[in-house]
């Protein structure tokens, strides 16, 4: 298993009760959104997506917990 596919597996199986109806499809859409982007534009896309998702979640306690999980 490559490092990238290991990360994909971790992302899609980390929380089986995550509410996504099709985690692999979401991951594929995320990867597709980055296709053809340079490093700067890819980072900007990630930043916009994080802010949109944080705004959608809205709960500071949940967001802090997610930040901590992402740092592991």
pLDDT in tens, 29-62: 999 999 999 999 999 999 999 999 999 999 999 9
What's the mean pLDDT when you consider all of the chain? 84
Answering whether pTM is above 0.85, one says no
Domain ranges of the chain: 1-35, 38-72
**Number of separate helices (H) and strands (E) present in the chain:** 4, 0
Residue 61 token pair = 């306690």
């Amino acid at each position: 298993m490559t490092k990238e596919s290991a990360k994909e597996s971790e992302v899609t199986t980390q929380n089986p009760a995550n509410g996504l109806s099709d985690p692999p499809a979401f991951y594929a859409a995320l990867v597709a959104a980055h296709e053809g982007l340079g490093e700067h534009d890819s980072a900007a896309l990630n930043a916009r997506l994080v802010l949109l998702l944080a705004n959608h979640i809205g709960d500071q306690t949940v967001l802090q917990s997610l930040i901590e999980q992402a740092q592991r």
